[in-house]
Amino acid sequence: MSSVTQIDLGEKSSVKSTPVQPAGKWRKYLPMYLSVAPFYILFLAFGIIPTFFSLYLAFQRWDGIGRMQFVGLNNFKFVLTDSIFGQAVFNTFAIWFMSTIPMLFLALILAFLINQRRRSKLIYQIAYYIPVITSIVAITLIFGSLFNEQFGLLNQGIAALHLPAVHWLTDGWSMKWAIALMVIWRWTGSNALIYMAGLQSIPSEFYEAARIDGAGTWQVFRYITVPILRPVILFTVITSTIGGLNLFTEPQILLGNTGGVANGGLTMSLYQYWQTFPSDHYGFGAAVSWIMFFIILFFSIINWRVVRER
């Protein structure tokens, strides 16, 4: 009996002491590594390397062809002391405030109302997503004709009400409202679909219990829908902040590279394009991009903390 036990123990110890060969381990997981390798290779080539190169380039003077010249912090100093960049920052935040807050509130209301419907939900979802997949250049050209000061449809309607025409493309604040209206029209439906996905994850028992207790539509929306959708709202606030502070196509096509009369519609991204490509000063453009990055990061963190705490 003891000999059998010794043999068993010997076998067990020999099994435990047998090491796993590293080569076999690599062969086992090699197909998995190869399946995800293309993403990381592309991310390295077009994400990480350009990011670090832009940081290096921000301290250089370079026209894209000749040799780089180290200029230290001069690019950053010029951007931070340029009054036009300060105006671009103000314009960007003003347009963000005019567009993002009404857009998210309207998207939440629309999602809540559509979610109450029992039929035709798919039709509304398709209709709301069409602006997102429509060419932004075509959208801007159409809105440009609507905002035309002499023959635009909006001013024609205002004239029918015997009110003075609005200078949509020449007045500073009117230009900002024109850009904000385009952003609202384009992204309200997309955010509404995100909110609808969140609403469908809320158990129907919550709404039924609230209706039994006599809660109205506004009370259900305020005390059930909004608190449960807080993570979704936080997501849309952050993404809308990042997108809104990087606004470029709408003001560039509608108002030109300089942001219209007296730079009234000039945004940070448009400022970067205007100051970089015509003069081929890519080091300056890299410095602007990093300053924009820290501005957007700081403002996104503020939004995240405010929405999360409330």
Tens-of-pLDDT digits for all 310 residues of the chain? 444 444 444 444 444 555 555 556 777 778 888 888 899 899 999 999 999 999 999 999 998 888 899 999 999 999 999 999 999 999 999 999 999 989 999 998 888 888 877 777 788 888 888 988 888 888 888 898 889 888 888 888 888 888 888 889 888 899 999 999 999 999 998 999 999 888 888 887 887 888 887 887 788 888 888 888 888 888 898 899 899 999 998 999 999 888 988 899 999 999 999 989 888 899 999 999 999 999 999 988 888 887 776 5
Sequence-distant (≥ 6) Cβ neighbours of residue 166 within 8 angstroms:
149, 154, 155, 158, 174
Write out the H or E segment, with its range, that includes residue 130: helix 121-133
Per-residue model confidence (pLDDT) at position 12: 47
Entry pTM: 0.82
Per-residue model confidence (pLDDT) at position 21: 52
Q: What DSSP designation does 49 have? A: H
- How far apart are alpha carbons 303 and 42 in whole angstroms? 31
Contact 125, 234 (CB under 8 A): no
**CATH code of the domain occupying 74-309:** 1.10.3720.10
- How far apart are alpha carbons 290 and 285 in whole angstroms? 9
The SS3 assignment for 168 reads: coil
Name the residue ranges covered by the structural domains of the chain: 2-57, 74-309
Per-residue model confidence (pLDDT) at position 19: 52
240-255 core/surface letters (b: 16 or more CB in 10 A; e: else): bbeebbebeebbbbbb
Contact 132, 187 (CB under 8 A): yes
- How far apart are alpha carbons 59 and 107 in whole angstroms? 42
Contact 206, 74 (CB under 8 A): no
